[in-house]
Amino acid sequence: MKPWLTKPLGEFVEERTERLGQDFATIYSVTNERGFVRSLDLFDKQVFSADTGNYKRVGFHDLAYNPSRINVGSVAMCEDKDGGAVSPMYVIVRSKSGLLPHYLLRFLKSEAGLHQIRHRCEGAVRFQLKFRDLCAIPILAPPLTQQERIVKLLDEADELRKVRARADSRTTALIPSLFHEMFGDPVRNSNGWPCVHLVELCCSADDIKCGPFGTQLSKSEYIEKGVPLWGIKNVNALFELPTQEFLTPSTAQRLIQYSIEPCDIVMTRKGTVGNCAVYPERFPLGIMHSDLLRLRVSREKCEPVFLAHQLHYSRDVERQLAQISGGAVMPGINVTKLKSLKVLAPPLPLQKEFAARVSEIRAMQTEQTTSRRRLEHLFQSLLHRAFKGDL
């Protein structure tokens, strides 16, 4: 078999500049992930000009790209058989004979295509890829039958990624659904469970504490490895984003009153106010930044996993947090007021049952994450091989 030739894109594409004029057409926006999306659906209101006469026509299977954002993947293909129109800022590209538009789109979104795009972008402040520069990009040009085969393989691999993403989304929705199924609406409290102040679930008032302020912690004390120091960006459902900041054991000992231990609830008190997670049991003792709060509950009174999810999913708690997190410059939680936050205290066995079921869901999510990474690796490998001529 003869090796496939690499040719400049200009041999296979032409620019379309026809304007809409007095005609009517659906107005589209081009998105990185969702492709062509009706502007009214994307923005929930009309953001485009009332006078669309200067908008560019786009035909079925034409490609459109934002010349200032194609370097981050802002290019898509029109799947509307009636075509449409897009803002004049977009560049409209039509494939000629010898190049399938689906093959071209896959190439432009591949790492090989993006590398070529970034190499040719112009502008000292804001990169732009003009049509003439797009035409200079080299592309591997196999016969149309081989292009169809490659596109089919890539579409199948991409569909697997999408199915995995949809399954992941459903799994993510399981926990809030489970919480509301087991505990109902805390505002109505139809089960008549006790409603207590947050501090009543702790062993002492000091168990609700914010991180060190001012000169108590200096960046000069950070080291490359040691006792972990945790901040806002690390607090998600499973502390999945590891910290890059560490303290010496002596500094950590000096700040021991600001420690976080396994099963502590960690809450953000600035920025994304009220975001919280349970510190994993497999983690070592850590120290929290000043923008975090620690809630150390009595295990005889409350299950930390249940309380963390109540703080997340209860609309009543959300309302209370909004009331106590006012700030002149930036919202932030007042620790004294947080102690008086009212939460439901269902029977402890029910809380533990919820925590056990959450643990099962988390295990499922871990398996799904592994699967998602494998599928992503497969897709990227296929893309790489496709435009090297190895597929």
Q: In this structure, are residues 70 and 129 in contact, taking their beta carbons and an 8 Å threshold?
A: yes
Cα Rg of the chain (Å, integer): 27
Residues 6+ apart with CB under 8 A from 3: 389
CA distance 390 to 285: 49
| Category of 226 on φ-ψ map: left (φ > 0), alpha (ψ -120 to 50) or beta | left
CA distance 275 to 270: 9
In a domain, 109, yes or no: yes
Shared domain for 356 and 387, answered yes or no, is yes
Q: pLDDT tens per residue, the chain (391 residues)? A: 457 889 999 999 999 999 998 888 899 988 888 889 888 776 554 545 567 889 999 999 999 999 988 888 889 999 999 999 999 999 999 999 899 999 999 999 999 999 999 888 766 456 789 999 999 999 999 999 999 999 999 999 999 988 988 888 888 889 889 998 898 877 777 788 999 999 999 988 889 998 887 667 777 888 889 999 998 888 876 677 788 889 999 999 999 999 999 999 998 887 777 888 899 888 999 999 888 899 999 999 999 999 999 988 888 888 888 888 765 455 678 788 889 899 999 999 999 999 999 999 988 988 988 998 999 899 889 988 988 888 7
Shared domain for 41 and 109, answered yes or no, is yes
Give the dihedral of Cα atoms 363, 367, 373, 375; nearest 10 deg: -150
Which residue bears the tokens 């975001």? 275
Helix and strand element counts for the chain (H, E): 10, 21
- The kind and range of the H/E element at 171 are helix 144-183
Q: In this structure, are residues 266 and 293 in contact, taking their beta carbons and an 8 Å threshold?
A: yes
Q: Residue 315 belongs to what domain range?
A: 194-345
Shared domain for 165 and 234, answered yes or no, is no
| Category of 389 on φ-ψ map: left (φ > 0), alpha (ψ -120 to 50) or beta | left
**In this structure, which amino acid lies at residue 2?**
K
Query: How many domains, the chain?
Result: 3
Domain boundary, last residue among 114, 141, 168:
141
Q: Among the residues of 48-143, which ranges form H helices?
A: 101-109, 111-120, 131-135
Q: In residues, how long is the chain?
A: 391
Reading the block at residue 49, the tokens are 């000009």
Shared domain for 337 and 305, answered yes or no, is yes
Reading the block at residue 101, the tokens are 């538009």
Shared domain for 155 and 133, answered yes or no, is no
User: What pLDDT, on a 0 to 100 scale, did the predictor assign at position 61?
Assistant: 96
Residues 6+ apart with CB under 8 A from 334: 324, 325
User: What pLDDT, on a 0 to 100 scale, did the predictor assign at position 1?
Assistant: 47
Shared domain for 89 and 115, answered yes or no, is yes
The CATH number of residue 62's host domain is: 3.90.220.20
In a domain, 187, yes or no: no
Of 335, 312, 316, the C-alpha closest to 325 is 335
Of 304, 297, 343, 300, the C-alpha closest to 320 is 343
CA distance 261 to 227: 12
Q: Is 371 exposed, middle or buried (0-12, 13-18, 19+ CB in 10 A)?
A: middle
User: What pLDDT, on a 0 to 100 scale, did the predictor assign at position 50?
Assistant: 64
In a domain, 113, yes or no: yes
Q: In this structure, are residues 86 and 362 in contact, taking their beta carbons and an 8 Å threshold?
A: no
pLDDT digits 0-9 by tens, 232-246: 888 876 677 788 889
Reading the block at residue 277, the tokens are 């997670």
Q: Beta strands of 96-207 (E only): which ranges?
A: 138-141, 195-197
CA angle at residue 165 from 111 to 114, to 5 degrees?
A: 10
pLDDT digits 0-9 by tens, 268-313: 887 777 888 899 888 999 999 888 899 999 999 999 999 999 988 8
**In this structure, which amino acid lies at residue 245?**
E
User: What pLDDT, on a 0 to 100 scale, did the predictor assign at position 290?
Assistant: 86
Q: Beta strands of 120-202 (E only): which ranges?
A: 138-141, 195-197
Shared domain for 206 and 276, answered yes or no, is yes
